[in-house]
Structure 1
């Protein structure tokens, strides 16, 4: 099947071909004809399946005819984050190159001047985050009664961010005869209730099981203690053929601190989190897309909607608190048919969180084992040098465990024969005649020797790291005996 089979206009087909696409993805093949027929739609699809184009492309043809009016957008797309809204705007600019359509972008963190100007000139497509849209609506700067088409994107993320009341308010202000599309990676009860309330006889499309794992992504969990995380990340960045990587953390303060540490370690690193203004976020993303930096440390603000080509690795520096976030984090790699690898650092405190992730994705996540086929990089095993060091560590550990036992046996050997006395009496007679001589004292001293011998024997995981070296390719962070 080609895009020409979906009923799109020639102008739109040319824009799609110029963008380098020839065949639609499964969700595009099912959603585009339904949207062109003006049907309500529920689309359930994991990230990276081409979901955005499945509503952008048909909307361009639907809106091709009609007249725009000031402050009264003809269509509305609601996005949970600024980054995702900007991503959808880029898609409209790319695919709408051959159409005379005006677009306005309403997001927080930037000045309202240009946004208000775009609204005053009239727009066919309004892409907005709920917060900024509510702000302008309450100021009387925008009217929603002319909106013919509504898209609620990333609905489950909207739920997580507390936007459902705002969405309900906005939907109540729109015409009841509108066409509505709702897209989500999962369908929790609250989202199902929202769909039942605001969609009319919708067609439901599910291109894959909700929250299922992308087959192009090889995912691992790495068991470790919290103190080993930074060393573990450095090791993977050096040893796992990392091209470009996004490192996710649950906390903004961790994002800032980790970015600083990695910069000190010599990596080309950028950061993006909720405390940054929009211009700074865009600047960091542009550096990452251009290759000026190849590692981006981010909070979940960047987990959804960012379509960045060539991300080879995703690292969950912190196991996500919400299992849905795991799906969207790892979805930043393995996009558009490319292969990707994802590593989740798991501590003892993350047992429940990783269990919830595995329940959602429907299977156990493999534990990373260097040197095994699953732990190899694109079929290449861990270097022999790495394996030999890991073997050495295991051998040393076994020797250390057995050494104290061998020494403790020494005092149990038969005592040395006493020296002959000055009057040349036989040794046996001396022993009987002087039972309280220093012999017991010498035996008592020998009994304490095994205790002293135990002091230098420590677990190999605490052996000091040699300068310039990182504890071997079977790294210390993989020793889970302390968990």
Structure 2
């Protein structure tokens, strides 16, 4: 089956072909015709299956008819993170270049003024994170009564981040007869409840078992100690032993991300970092460096775990085993995308036993354990550590002691040692001013206890 068989317009087919795509993925084959028929849809798909294009492509054709009005977007796409929202915006720019559709991106961490100006002009597609959208709505800067199409992307991630109440609030402000598309990697009970409440007779598509991992990804567990120093050493050994073209290294904490990136740079690796404490412009700049190949290792917190579609990532390393098993699926899904193969290593200590058990239970399979490769210390960095056991202690030759009189003469004529110079200079200044007259530092009256009369 080709994209032409899905019912897309000629203009859109030319754009897709120019982008280098000839055959749709499984979720695209099933989702695009249903979206074009204006049906509500639930899409359950593992990461890296082409999910974004499955709603972006039909939305472009649907929105080709009609015109936008000020502060009233015609469609709304909700994303859990800024990075995902920016990525969807890139997809619209790439596939919609033959259509005259306007778009606005509402995300935190950037100036609100430019976003308000874009809304006032009117937009066909509004891509937003729930927090910034609700902020602008409460300020009266946006109206949702004209929005006839809603996409809730990464719904299970929305649940993890506590956005479900915001999404429910947003849904009540949109027209009741809208078209709603919901996409999620898993379908936990709260997401099922959300779908039952706000979707009307949806078609459900499932292209992979929920929370299953990509079969193109080879997974390994590497036992390590609890020591951060030892873990960094094992990680470097893996980076050296493997044919790592580009890699993403995940950590559980932002402080660990910073420390690990600093350590990797110190050892000569071309690495960058991305985490939640960075402002939006800095995060985008680091991602652009990674995509451009200026750096080939990206150290990240889970803010980057979902939805980042970066081509050619050969390896994923979990420096910390993720606390939630679903996060493991999304982390390693950054490699092995679009039919390519990838490798994922997870460093695990004795404290990670429960987390590993939950991951294997979720996947329904055991992950093979391997030992880390030996670390070969470079010759230049090797330092002698004392003499060998059978090596004799070297003898020092001493000069004969001089006569006492000559020793004293040499001591007096020798220049003062560095630590003695300040003291000698101080003594010299004290002697210099000892006979300069009275001390002019006190200008007040003479105290009584210093006044006395010499007897006659």
1:291–1:63 distance in 2 versus 1, CA, 3 Å? same
Cα distance in 2, alignment partners of residues 61 and 99 from structure 1: 9
Partner of 1:2: 2
Q: CA deviation at 1:468?
A: 4.0
Partner of 2:269: 267
Give the corresponding residue for 2:310. Answer: 308
Confirm or deny that 1:186 pairs with 2:201.
no
How much does 1:467 deviate? 7.4
2:26 match:
26
**Shift in Å at residue 67 of structure 1?**
1.4
Matches within 5 A, 1:132-281: 132-227=132-227, 228-281=230-283
Structure 2 CA distance for partners of 1:123 and 1:281, relative to 1, 3 Å: same
- Between the aligned partners of 1:226 and 1:183, the Cα distance in structure 2 is 38
CA RMSD of aligned residues (A): 1.6
1:317 alignment partner in structure 2: 319
Partner of 2:424: none
Residue deviations 1:288-320 (CA, integer Å, cap 9, x gap):
000000000000000011110110100000000
Q: How far apart, CA to CA, are the structure 2 residues paired with 1:466 and 1:317?
A: 27
Match of 2:414? Answer: none
Q: Which runs of 4+ in 1 moved over 3 A?
A: 464-469
Structure 1, unaligned stretches of length 5 or more?
A: 371-381, 390-463, 470-483
Unaligned runs of 5+ in 2: 383-456
Separation in 2, partners of 1:290, 1:67:
36
CA distance in 1: counterparts of 2:379 and 2:190, whole angstroms: 54
- CA deviation map 1:53-95 (0-9, x unaligned): 0000000001110110000000000000000000000000000
Aligned to 1:373: none
Q: Give the structure-2-normalised TM-score.
A: 0.82
1:246-287, Cα deviation, whole Å (9 max, x unpaired): 000000000001110111011011000000000000000000
Greater mean alpha carbon deviation, residues 356-365 or residues 84-93: 356-365
CA distance in 2, matches of 1:123, 1:70: 7
Match of 1:286 among 288, 295, 300: 288
Alpha-carbon separation, structure 2, partners of 1:133 and 1:59: 20
User: What's the CA shift string for 1:91-117, capped at 9, x where partnerless?
Assistant: 000000111100000000000121111
Quick one: distance in 2 between partners of 1:92 and 1:281?
A: 21
Return 223-232 or 86-95, whichever deviates more. 223-232
In 1, the alpha carbon distance for the partners of 2:358 and 2:381 equals: 38
Larger Cα Rg: Structure 1 or Structure 2? 2
1:431-454 CA distances to partner (integer Å, 9 max, x unpaired)? Answer: xxxxxxxxxxxxxxxxxxxxxxxx
Alignment partner, residue 48 of structure 1 = 48
Contact 2:223 2:371 in 1 (8 A): no
Deviations 1:405-450 (A, max 9, x none): xxxxxxxxxxxxxxxxxxxxxxxxxxxxxxxxxxxxxxxxxxxxxx
SS of aligned partner of 1:367:
coil
CA–CA distance in structure 2, aligned partners of residues 146 and 357 of structure 1:
43
Structure 1 segment 429-440 matched on structure 2, within 5 A: none
Q: Structure 1 residue 224: deviation in Å?
A: 1.2
